[in-house]
């Protein structure tokens, strides 16, 4: 099974920047970005990020607000904060060199079983398994598993990575899931492991893997207030980012509706009405230039909605 898969990968892999040198720092940054983000979206962010912070050392010495500004738009900002914290720990405890063993990696902020396996296999070519959404789909279909069994999945990934060059095996499984064995319409006729695939043989591709139950969607309506003074705006710091003040109800005062936008964060759907007006500047607010501070995708949408009215 592995030989045709690896041959397919070698011939079809996307030329991604972290695949040129397999520099451990770049592999780590790419994997953190790709945890919640598609490759196409993450690519320009990755390039900007490693241009400005080309090494663990550079990232460890970076100003957190500057790092968050480069991350702005990628979402899940905790990832960027963990990256900085881990970089600082690598400099303080490991001489700035990315650790190459599993237990040490697991001690670093933001690094769990998946991330440690990805760094060790892709950067260091060590036989550690990875199971992400793509690998789960490919292996479940390959073995015809209609029920989720995390232990069986990790065991299957573990034996696969021991059968070939770890860097190639893991990336080939991930790439197959991303490019051929997609969730809705797998392109089985182009698949290099079609003859071994249980789901293909039984026509069960649309039943495998079982769909995970998602939490119910929560709808929320919020009111954002744009309060301007010259080129600065009243903003509030939230977890290292800056946002316009938002309220579940419009505070008393005189406000003018200037826009509307929608945003989804995990299972929360937010409808945001955007108003301009004057707020009493509370202690947690500060006057900021919007393009000089890190802002989230939601704040970007509110900003855009306020300017297109
Ligand atoms: Fe996925 Fe189809 Fe290939 Fe099986 S044959 S691994 S279902 S693409």
180 lines ligand 1 (CB under 6 A): yes
What residues contact residue 73 under an 8 Å CB cut-off, 6+ apart? Answer: 45, 297, 300
In this structure, the strands spanning 232-238 and 286-288 are: antiparallel
In this structure, the strands spanning 268-277 and 246-247 are: unpaired
34 lines ligand 1 (CB under 6 A): no
CA 247 to chain centroid: 28
Q: Is 283 a residue whose pLDDT tops 90?
A: no
Strand order across the beta sheet in which 255-265 lies:
246-247, 218-226, 268-277, 255-265
Q: Answer positive or negative: Cα dihedral of 43, 48, 54, 59.
A: negative
241 lines ligand 1 (CB under 6 A): no
DSSP category for residue 238: E
Q: For residue range 236-268, what is the model confidence (pLDDT) as tens digits?
A: 999 889 999 999 999 988 899 999 999 998 889
pLDDT computed for residue 309 by the predictor: 61
Element (H or E) spanning 10, and its range?
Answer: helix 2-12
Q: Is 31 an active-site residue?
A: yes
Q: For residue range 64-119, what is the model confidence (pLDDT) as tens digits?
A: 999 999 999 898 889 999 999 999 999 999 999 999 999 999 999 999 999 999 99
Q: Is 281 a residue whose pLDDT tops 80?
A: no
Q: Which residues pair with 261 in a beta bridge?
A: 272
Residue owning the nearest CA to atom 4 of ligand 1? 197
């Amino acid at each position: 099974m592995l030989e045709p898969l690896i041959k397919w990968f070698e011939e079809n892999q996307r030329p991604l920047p972290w695949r040129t040198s397999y520099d451990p720092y770049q592999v780590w940054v790419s994997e953190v970005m790709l945890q919640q983000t598609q490759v196409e979206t993450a690519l320009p962010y990755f390039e900007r990020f490693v241009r400005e912070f080309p090494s663990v050392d550079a990232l460890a010495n970076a100003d957190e607000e500057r790092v968050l500004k480069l991350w702005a738009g990628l979402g899940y900002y905790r990832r960027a904060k963990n990256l900085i914290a881990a970089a600082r720990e690598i400099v303080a405890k490991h001489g700035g060199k990315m650790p190459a063993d599993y237990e040490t990696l697991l001690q670093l902020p933001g690094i769990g079983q998946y991330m440690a396996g990805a760094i060790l296999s892709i950067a260091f070519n060590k036989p550690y398994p990875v199971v992400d959404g793509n690998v789960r789909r490919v292996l479940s279909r390959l073995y015809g598993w209609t029920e989720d069994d995390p232990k069986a999945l990790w065991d299957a990934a573990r034996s696969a990575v021991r059968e070939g060059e770890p860097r190639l095996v893991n990336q080939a499984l991930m790439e197959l899931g991303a490019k051929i064995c997609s969730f809705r319409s797998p392109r089985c006729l182009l698949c290099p492991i079609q003859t071994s695939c249980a789901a293909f043989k039984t026509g069960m591709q649309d039943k495998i893997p079982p769909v995970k139950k998602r939490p119910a969607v929560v709808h929320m309506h919020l009111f954002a207030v744009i309060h301007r003074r010259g080129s600065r705006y009243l903003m509030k710091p939230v977890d290292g980012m800056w946002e316009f003040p938002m309220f579940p109800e419009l505070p008393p005062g005189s406000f003018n509706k200037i826009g509307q936008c929608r945003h989804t964060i995990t299972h929360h759907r937010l409808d945001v009405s955007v108003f301009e007006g004057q707020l009493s500047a509370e202690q947690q607010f500060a006057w900021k230039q919007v393009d000089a501070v890190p802002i989230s995708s939601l704040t970007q949408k509110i900003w855009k909605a306020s300017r297109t009215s």
